[in-house]
Each structure stands twice: as C-alpha cells, then as structure tokens.
Structure 1
C-alpha cells in the first residue's frame, strides 16, 4: 500500500502498539513516531507510580502527537497513541484531519500476559483495568479499522495493512 495516510496505531496498553507501529510503518514505507516519546516526564512519573492519567494530563500529549501527524499530512506516517476515548481521537483529527486509526484489539488475558513479559516499561499491569474502563472503541463514522492482536507481530501487521487498503483515500 502506497499511502499518504497518517495512521494512528491505538489500543490499550499491552496490545503491541510499539511493536506493530514500526512494522506497519516499514510495510507502508513511511516514518514511525513512538507516541510514548511525546509524553511529558510528569505523565511518565504518574503512570510509573500506578496513577492513571487524567484528561488534563493527556491534552498536551495528544496535541504533540497531533502536531506530528499534521506535519506528515499528505506524506504519510505511523504514530502510536492509546487514543482510548472518542474525544482524544477527535482532538487528533482536529490537528490532522486525514488521520486514520488502526485499533489493536484483544482478549484481556492475552494482553495482561504480554504486559507481564515486558521489561523496563513504565506502564504497570495494574493500570490495565483503567485502560479497558476508559476505552471507547472506534465508532462507525470514524476512519479506521480494528485488528485482532492474536498471532505473530508479522501476522498482525499484515492484517492491519490489508485492512487499511480498504479505506478510502485520505481527506486533504
């Protein structure tokens, strides 16, 4: 797929955004940006302590991701962001109207297992319940696709790339 889309790989912690994002970017031939890198240090400290972020904590982070996506409009790119609420995705679309979402979905037990295997990540497994409680899946009017996270990273990436091929051309 040759795409000028900016793709936001979204989902709860542990779904594989940081793994699938770079693979999808390589598959699409576009740059990748790690959403966690846009977090201010205060957000990372809060999550590391097991405290969920508030909307007020997330706005500057989402704005920074939106700025990056806006800068890639018409050029394409892939960025990871939990984008758990519709209001968060609306904020990203306000900054970069052509963004599309790949929502990585999966069984809670599988995701919790994957999180428990991670080394040196600031997001503790204890916050997974708050992530699922906050999650608002993509609505039919939102540009994007849902992709199940069972299987290998390569299989998930191929499912995502194939699903994206079915989307209409991006809005400019």
Structure 2
C-alpha cells in the first residue's frame, strides 16, 4: 500500500486525505470513526445514515445489497464527506467499502483518501453482531459481506488494523499509523 500518499496539497491535512474506516458489518467502523473524529477535531460521516429505506428494509431481512443498491448510497456518502471536507476542513467516514470498485468510486469523488480496514476473526465479528440490539444489520449478512470483501491492494493508501484487541489499542494504532503516513496531520491529541 502507498503509505506515503498525502494528496495534492502534500501537507497530509485531512482536506487532502479524508480517512475512511472500512470493513464488514460488526467490526466497529462507527466506534473507531467517532473516536478518530474526536481525536482529530473533524467531522464524522456515518455511511449508515445515507442508506435508502429500501436498503434498510433489505438488510434488516438479511438480504445482501447489490451493486445497484450500493452505488447511489456510495455517491451520497461521498457527497456528504466532500461537503464536510470543503466546509469544515476534514472528515472521518465510517463506510464498509467492501470492494475495490466501491473504494475507487469514493476516491473518484474525494480524491486521495486513506482507508483503515478493520479486520478480525469471523467468530469475534459474529459475536459482536449477535449482541447488537438497535441496528438494521445483523449477523445474517456477515457471510455475504465476507464473501465480497476485497482487502486493500498494494496501490491503495491505507492500512489494515486487527480488532481482536481493546478499542483503545485500535484507536492508538490508527492514530499512530495516520501520523506516520501524514494524514490527517492537524489537531491530534
């Protein structure tokens, strides 16, 4: 992976390299994104907020989304993230981005982006999903998401982070890696 990519401005600022926390359902994307947004003093974009009612209905019935379902959703997420970057100077996005084509679509709208791929053992992720009580995505979608997951490729700016450690350790590892690669560079506590 191209760990040194910081965008056209070369500063490593969030505006040049929005951060997308990615992975299958249940890995903790929203929790990590919220913690990183707080640490960096930037806005968080929650991709789940942009699903259509039809997408939510399908997922709540354990029906996997198709590309036709996902592409308008990805466009809405990208637009929200772009707006945050342009108006507030940064964004941390929680979005599954399971396939390379989805990440390319987001990069096409946002320019250079850094992806943090949360990954872990299937059993741990399933356990987390079983414990969920107030989310429209449950354990029934885990295998279909794992089936289509395409890990980050060598030419994609980003890193993989293991989730089988306490969340505080994941946050520290993410911040350390983001500092190391230079994005985002501002307001880190």
Q: For this structure pair, what is the TM-score category when the shorter chain's length is used for normalisation?
A: over 0.9
Aligned CA RMSD, in angstroms, stands at 1.5
Give the CA deviation at 1:82. 0.4
Give the CA deviation at 1:168. 4.6
Whether contact under 8 Å (2:45, 2:81) holds in the other structure is: no
1:61 aligns with 2:73: yes
Cα distance in 2 for residues equivalent to 1:169 and 1:36: 24
Cα distance in 1 for residues equivalent to 2:108 and 2:143: 28
Whether contact under 8 Å (1:9, 1:104) holds in the other structure is: yes
Divergent runs of 4+, >3 A? none
Whether contact under 8 Å (1:3, 1:28) holds in the other structure is: no
Cα distance in 1 for residues equivalent to 2:26 and 2:99: 17
Give 5+ residue unaligned stretches, structure 1: none
Cα distance in 2 for residues equivalent to 1:6 and 1:67: 12
1:49 aligns with 2:61: yes
Secondary structure at the residue paired with 2:111? coil
- Among 72, 95, 98, the alignment partner of 2:84 is 72
Cα distance in 2 for residues equivalent to 1:25 and 1:15: 17
Give the CA deviation at 1:72. 3.4
Number of matched pairs: 169
Give the CA deviation at 1:17. 0.6
Whether contact under 8 Å (2:114, 2:183) holds in the other structure is: no
Cα distance in 2 for residues equivalent to 1:141 and 1:73: 23
Write the deviation string for residues 67-114 of structure 1: whole angstroms up to 9, x where unpaired. 122223462210111000000000000000122111001111111111
User: What is the TM-score with the length of structure 2 in the denominator?
Assistant: 0.85
Whether contact under 8 Å (2:13, 2:182) holds in the other structure is: no
Cα distance in 1 for residues equivalent to 2:165 and 2:96: 20
Give the CA deviation at 1:161. 1.0
Cα distance in 2 for residues equivalent to 1:139 and 1:148: 17
- Among 126, 134, 138, the alignment partner of 2:140 is 126
Secondary structure at the residue paired with 2:181? coil
User: What is the TM-score with the length of structure 1 in the denominator?
Assistant: 0.93
Give 5+ residue unaligned stretches, structure 2: 1-11, 185-189
1:105 aligns with 2:91: no
Cα distance in 2 for residues equivalent to 1:150 and 1:25: 22
After superposing the two structures, state which structure 1 stretch, 139-148 or 68-77, moved more. 68-77
